Amino acid sequence: MMPTTQPRDLLEDEAPLPNYTGNTALVLGVVAVMMLGCPWLPDPVPAWMRYFPLYLVLPTGICAALAGAITLRSMRGQADADRRRAQAGILFGSIAIIVPLAVIAWACWQLRDI
């Protein structure tokens, strides 16, 4: 004789799936900051691969900051929402916006006497 067991519902026993909101902002921000380092790649890397990403840093940083702000706004009122990814995306996006603008301002200041 076989023991009788109740069928177990697997979905009831498992923990809820993690909430992945803010990943877009985080990924865009990290990619934008990583693109700032492309000019320092080794010389065997083609020049277009070292300098072309610099043209995309500012737009990618702006997209990261906007995506993070939109995500934070959509999470307003949710007590269980994890806002760290969106905040990190805003931080990295802001870094990717401020650094190129600071370099351009410095270059203009240095070149004004020439």
HEC states along the chain?
CCCCCCCCCHHHHCCCCCCCCCHHHHHHHHHHHHHCCHHHCCCCCCHHHHHCCHHHHHHHHHHHHHHHHHHHHHCCCCCCCCCHHHHHHHHHHHHHHHHHHHHHHHHHHHHCCC
Q: Does the residue 52 lie in any domain?
A: yes
* Prediction pTM value: 0.79
Residue 114 binned pLDDT confidence (cut-offs 50, 70, 90): confident
The mean pLDDT of 51-74, rounded to a whole number, is 95
- 101 within some domain: yes
15 belongs to a structural domain: no
Number of domains into which the chain is organized? 1
What is the domain extent for residue 55? 21-76+83-111
Q: What is the pLDDT of residues 1-49, one digit of tens each?
A: 566 666 655 555 566 666 778 899 999 999 999 999 999 999 999 999 9
